[in-house]
Copies of this chain bind each other. A is one copy, B any other.
């Protein structure tokens, strides 16, 4: 029986869809960070041989998808759905990539939660018998995002300490019910988040805006599955950065479900060397959790170093228009439970 439900938000996937292909294409600055050697590819500059930053982001996206499918032992014409999104208006990165790939396209917008949103949805489609193989993808690019959400790059605006640095990178994950390559991990549970907004209006403090949503989803997952943080080798949030990371720790302590320091991390704190790379509160953008999952966590799940983890990407759902109209920033967090390739249901 597919998809036996557990609670209001969490769904146990009895078929445990397999992840059998992954790729992470990153920008130059990300390549210079502590995870540099783990990426499939590091671009030498922001333009990646294209005419515009937007085309560069699309090329990273396309290349990551093609690589993940290839590493999964498959071909694009054998993949039933592309579930993908990005940060740009009308998700042009994903849409234009879908045009080039010819894979039926399910366009998503979850801001920086997209990597988890796409894997959660893709896993349910596989578990329900609606596809045999799907590719999930998310990206961001420092230059396309900064000029869309904040200021023209040429303006050189000063960034407050709470600001995060938008990651240039694309992550892609191939899910399959009939894997033709070694399995990296299984998706055992998904937990789709509610939109939570505690009134943060500062677009340079997205970690604080997203932390309450992260706590909301984590608490739902723990409650629905009757687990605690101790049941997981690792809990990784998407891109809360230092401010959001600390706030989530505090919120979870207040809810009497403290996250142990040694088992909780945030992709935005892993991707850069914050001492040397001047990124303030850490990394952000869909590409942040996208590349860290695919380059850093999945290999550890495959090797057995991580047996069971929560991957929860968080998104800040504001737009330039909503910010200009004085609206606060709604947050959302979607989570998937990943189990190592060797683990049994």
Contacts and interface: CB of A to CB of B under 8 A. Distances in A.
Given A124-B125, A128-B3, A89 B192 contact: no
Interface centre among A9, A98, A109 (most CB of B within 10 A): A109
* 10 cross-chain pairs, A with B, having the tightest CB-CB distances, nearest first: A128-B128, A95-B317, A90-B319, A3-B129, A104-B192, A98-B195, A99-B195, A3-B130, A109-B109, A89-B89
A96 B327 contact: yes
Given A95-B195, A330-B96, A130 B129 contact: no
A94 to B, nearest CB: 8
A48 interface: no
Contacts of A111: 90
Interface stretch (A80-88, A160-168, A283-291): A80-88
A192 B105 contact: yes
19 contacts: A2-B2, A3-B129, A8-B80, A54-B325, A55-B325, A90-B109, A90-B319, A92-B317, A92-B318, A92-B322, A95-B332, A98-B195, A99-B330, A106-B108, A107-B108, A107-B332, A121-B121, A128-B130, A148-B321
Contacts of A318: 90, 92
Interface in A1-33: 1-5, 8-9, 11
B96 A107 contact: no
Contacts of A81: 192
A106 B96 contact: no
Given A128-B130, A129-B4, A105 B325 contact: no
Contact of A127 (B85, B104, B128): B128
A320 interface: yes
Nearest to A317: B95
Contacts of A71: none
Contacts of A192: 81, 104-106
Contacts of A102: 194-195
A104 B192 CA distance: 6
Given A130-B5, A321-B89, A330 B95 contact: yes
A52 interface: yes
A117 interface: yes
Interface string A172-205: 0000000000000000000011111100000000
Interface in A272-303: none
Contacts of A131: 5
Given A92-B327, A102-B195, A103-B194, 19 more contacts: A2-B130, A3-B130, A5-B132, A11-B130, A52-B325, A85-B109, A92-B322, A95-B317, A96-B195, A98-B330, A99-B195, A104-B192, A104-B194, A105-B192, A105-B195, A106-B108, A107-B110, A108-B109, A128-B130
Contacts of A251: none
Interface in A123-162: 124-125, 127-132, 148
Interface centre among A8, A117, A129 (most CB of B within 10 A): A129
A91 interface: yes
A319 B128 contact: no
